[in-house]
């Protein structure tokens, strides 16, 4: 699941794009002309050059232009601007001290705001009992909404802009390889104040995001009340599944006995289609008091009112909220550009090319043929989630549930078991204890997620579902995924040399580590030992999973392009567009492989609703994880993971080259999958 960041970090640091040091004067935010004139700016540059004769001209010009671009009339007159620059421009040891001040103070600001956000949203994210109406209001409240503007009002943001030069993505790619760690930290510092967004917009985004998150967190299907044509329940008692995660995972679990469970998989697929096309009866959502026949689409034997496009209302609300940011990012004027060029620091076309290279890989049809042979039938669209390559595929999930429940009866048992889990993964006892002390395990209300700390006195939060009867295998599997996130979060904050470089290049990298941990779940339970056949199966499993989520990510991207092209669309129009886009991508990349056309299944992911444009992190995460795993075949995971995490938040390809010696590439995965089809004959 996604790694949460407080809005201060999300909107100021991650979604920041630097302006080139040699950029000419440009219009201020919102297309209005800058308050200061060219004459005002040049006069200040001249004054600083006379006062600081040893300072580089480039440094002075860069700082003054960066301040001038965001200086407004309410910040002071041209004379005030000149006095400010003269008083706060620093060189030499003074500049070093200034850098240290900012690094520490920003860690405290972001850390405390993050801690506040965790507490305000606690009841929404942790299963602590029934929700109160006020919980939704607390979750929607953003304590850091005014922080950005306050930093500008206090002139602190301008002090940073005056003294630390920003850099464009192009400049980072071209010059970043020669920068020192301190230079990288300075670039990250300067980027935190590259844009000036009104507090009310940040608050609105927080509100809408919280509402969408609440909607998804409560989107449960009571499967023990799903009935077939004979009116009999099809699934075990007390089975409640969240969409899409729980539905998908239940479908995947049924591959342990595919012949016996085909009808149940078909039913889950029907449920997913009802959710996508919003034909699902509103009354069956999170309601254990009615029986639903998804095929006939009747409730207690009668037609019922559908959900009425609520799913797409939330997606539109998210779009309209974040679209308000566009005028304040003239260098990245759409959420799409911000997601790729600012957050991922990877151009959209490069990411799409990586995704399509997996979808078009020659191994695709070969793997599909192998799956058909193993299933003894033609593929169905839901076989994008074929789970038979996993080492646990031939283990009854009830057995896995029993093993996990006995080992981890509750959240506390899982918390106490972290040192042993980390020991099984190869971490020495001292490091395992160090990590465990900084990770808190919480009961998830939703599917589960990781929420990292933002200062070195706080803990990373690992959240997964734990039923009253003890943790089940699904919860453990998700818990292992989130453990990968939290270990990365602890290493890359607590041990990195500059907190301004905390984290990894983007969320795809933390997803990569999460997949590495998740893939070792049976090893931790003592149920799997690596061998040549299992390695081949693992390659096939990762390839198929990457291929599945790559298409989902393309749907997510194309839907956002459609919303920008149709800004006045209704929820109904958006629903129709999403379904069409999902079918088009299916027909382009899946129909030939599966032998079925026009499936909308790629649109089922809940991330599209509550975490817009996040989905491409997952296929990138698989690709990155595979490269890292390949490296771990000849290097110890524990030691090398710590080294990799300490590289911090630099450019993605630069990080990969330093971590494993090669840029991000799908070739290792595609080649391994093709080779694996020859190793696994049946």
Interatomic CA distance for residues 528 and 496, integer angstroms: 34
| Eight-class DSSP state of 194 | S
Direct distance between the N- and C-terminal alpha carbons of the chain, in angstroms, rounded to an integer: 33
- The first and second tokens of residue 652, run together, are 């993605």
The single residue listed with the structure tokens 């395990």 is 441
CA–CA distance, 378 with 657 (Å, rounded to integer):
41
pLDDT at residue 630 is higher than 90? no
pLDDT in tens, 200-243: 898 899 899 989 999 998 999 999 999 999 999 999 999 999 99
> 184, 215, 246 — which closes off a domain?
215
Q: CA 429, CA 517: separation in Å to the nearest integer?
A: 18
CATH code of the domain covering residue 440: 3.40.390
Residue 402 belongs to what domain range? 397-524
pLDDT digits (tens, 9 = 90+) for 85-115: 999 999 999 999 999 999 999 999 999 999 9
Q: Tell whether 207 and 227 lie within a shared domain.
A: no
Residues 477 and 536 in one domain: no
568, 590: one domain? yes
> Are 119 and 458 contacting, i.e. CB atoms less than 8 angstroms apart?
no
Phi, psi of 100 (to 5 degrees): -60, -40
The Cα angle at residue 4 between residues 202 and 566, in degrees rounded to 5: 50
- Do 239 and 340 lie in a common domain? no
Both 410 and 374 in one domain: the answer is no
Q: What is the pLDDT of residue 19?
A: 29
Q: Single out the residue in 193, 215, 237 at which a domain terminates.
A: 215
Compute the chain's Rg from CA coordinates: 26
Which tokens is 526 given?
Answer: 């003592």
Same domain, 161 and 252: no
Q: State whether 150 and 34 are in the same domain.
A: yes
Half-sphere exposure of 537 (CA within 13 A, CB side): 19
Separation between Cα atoms, residue 544 and residue 524, nearest integer Å: 23
Tokens of 271: 């449920």
Contacts of 396 (CB under 8 A, 6+ apart): 256, 257
**Predicted local distance difference test score (pLDDT) of residue 454:** 94
Cα(206)–Cα(11) distance, integer angstroms: 11
540 closest CA partner among 369, 382, 397, 677: 677
CA dihedral 179→666→502→347, nearest 10 degrees, is 70
- Indicate the DSSP class of residue 77: -
CA distance 541 to 535: 10
Per DSSP, 285 falls in state B
Per-residue 3-state assignment (H helix, E strand, C coil) for 472-534: CHHHHHHHHHHHHHHHHHHHHHHCCCCHHHCCCCCHHHHHHHHHHHHCCHHHHCCCCCCCHHH
Residues 204 and 565 sit within 8 Å (Cβ to Cβ): no
Instruction: Return the pLDDT at 469.
Output: 85
CA dihedral 159, 163, 167, 171 (to 10 degrees): 180
State the total domains in the chain: 4
Q: Answer whether residue 81 shows pLDDT above 70.
A: yes
- 372 and 517 in one domain? no
- Hey, what are 167's tokens? 């850099």
680: Cα within 13 Å, side-chain hemisphere:
29
Say yes or no: 519 and 533 in one domain.
no
H/E stretch holding 370 reads helix 363-375
* d(C-alpha 497, C-alpha 670), whole Å: 36
pLDDT in tens, 435-486: 999 999 999 988 789 999 999 999 999 999 888 888 999 899 999 999 999 9
**Residues 533, 665: one domain?**
yes
User: What pLDDT, on a 0 to 100 scale, did the predictor assign at position 22?
Assistant: 31
In this structure, are 211 and 224 located in the same domain? no
Of 524, 540, 563, the residue that ends a domain is 524
Cα–Cα distance measured from residue 156 to residue 680, given in angstroms and rounded to the nearest whole number: 61
Q: Are residues 275 and 403 in the same domain?
A: no
- Give residue 341's pLDDT: 93
**CA 15 distance to own-chain centroid:** 14
Averaged pLDDT for residues 62-75: 96
């Amino acid at each position: 699941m996604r790694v949460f960041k407080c809005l201060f970090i999300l909107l100021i640091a991650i979604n920041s794009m630097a302006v080139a040091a040699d950029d000419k004067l440009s219009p201020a935010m919102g297309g209005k002309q800058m308050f200061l004139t060219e004459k005002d700016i040049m006069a200040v540059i001249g004054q600083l050059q006379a006062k600081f004769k040893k300072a580089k001209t480039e440094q002075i010009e860069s700082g003054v232009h960066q301040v001038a671009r965001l200086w407004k009339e309410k910040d002071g007159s041209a004379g005030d601007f000149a006095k400010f620059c003269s008083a706060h421009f620093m060189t030499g040891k003074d500049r070093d001290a200034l850098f240290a001040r900012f690094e520490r103070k920003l860690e405290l600001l972001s850390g405390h705001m993050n801690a506040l956000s965790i507490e305000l949203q606690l009841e929404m994210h942790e299963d602590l009992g029934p929700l109160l109406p006020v919980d939704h209001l607390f979750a929607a409240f953003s304590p850091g909404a005014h922080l950005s503007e306050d930093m500008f009002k206090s002139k602190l943001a301008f002090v940073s802009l005056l003294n630390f030069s920003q850099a464009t993505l192009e400049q980072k790619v071209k010059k970043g390889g020669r920068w020192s760690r301190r230079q990288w930290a300075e670039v990250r510092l300067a980027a935190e104040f590259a844009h000036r967004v009104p507090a009310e917009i940040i608050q609105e985004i927080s509100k809408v995001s919280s509402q969408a998150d609440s909607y998804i967190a409560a989107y449960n299907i009571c499967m023990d009340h799903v009935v077939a044509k004979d009116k009999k329940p099809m699934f075990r008692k007390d089975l409640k599944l969240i969409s899409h995660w729980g539905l998908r995972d239940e479908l995947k679990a049924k591959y342990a006995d595919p012949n016996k469970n085909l009808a149940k998989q078909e039913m889950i697929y029907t449920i997913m289609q009802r959710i996508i096309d919003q034909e699902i009866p509103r009354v069956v959502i999170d309601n254990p008091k009615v029986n639903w026949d998804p095929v006939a689409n009747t409730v207690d034997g009668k037609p019922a009112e559908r959900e009425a496009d609520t799913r797409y209302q939330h997606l539109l609300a998210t779009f309209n909220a974040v679209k308000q940011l566009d005028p304040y990012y003239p260098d990245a004027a759409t959420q799409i550009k911000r997601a790729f060029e600012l957050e991922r620091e990877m151009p959209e076309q490069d990411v799409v090319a990586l995704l399509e290279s997996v979808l078009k890989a020659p191994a695709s049809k070969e793997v599909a043929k192998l799956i058909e042979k193993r299933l003894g039938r033609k593929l169905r669209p839901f076989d994008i989630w074929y789970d038979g390559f996993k080492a646990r595929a031939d283990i009854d999930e009830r057995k896995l549930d029993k093993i996990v429940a006995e080992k981890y009866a509750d959240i506390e048992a899982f918390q106490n078991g972290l040192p042993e889990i980390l020991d099984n993964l190869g971490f020495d006892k001292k490091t395992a204890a160090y990590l465990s002390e900084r990770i808190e395990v919480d009961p998830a209300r939703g599917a589960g997620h990781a929420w990292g700390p933002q200062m070195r006195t706080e803990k990373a939060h690992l959240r997964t579902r734990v039923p009253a009867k003890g943790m089940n295998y699904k919860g453990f599997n998700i818990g292992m995924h989130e453990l990968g996130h939290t270990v990365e979060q602890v290493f890359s904050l607590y041990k990195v040399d500059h907190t301004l470089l905390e984290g990894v290049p983007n969320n795809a990298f933390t997803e990569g580590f999460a997949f590495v941990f998740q893939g070792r779940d049976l090893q931790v339970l003592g149920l799997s030992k690596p061998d040549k056949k299992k390695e081949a199966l693992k390659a096939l499993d990762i390839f198929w999973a990457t291929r599945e989520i790559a298409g989902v990510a393309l749907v997510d991207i194309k839907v956002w392009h459609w919303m920008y092209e149709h800004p006045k669309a209704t929820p109904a129009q958006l629903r129709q567009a999403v379904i069409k886009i999902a079918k088009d991508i299916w027909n382009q990349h899946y129909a030939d492989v599966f032998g079925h056309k026009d499936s909308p299944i790629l649109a089922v992911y809940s991330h599209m609703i509550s975490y817009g444009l996040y989905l491409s992190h997952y296929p990138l995460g698989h690709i990155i994880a595979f490269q890292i795993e390949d490296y771990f075949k000849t290097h110890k995971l524990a030691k090398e993971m710590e080294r990799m995490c300490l590289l911090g938040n630099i450019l993605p390809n630069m990080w990969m080259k330093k971590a494993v010696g090669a840029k991000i590439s799908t070739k290792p995965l595609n080649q391994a999958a093709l080779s694996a089809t020859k190793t696994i004959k049946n």
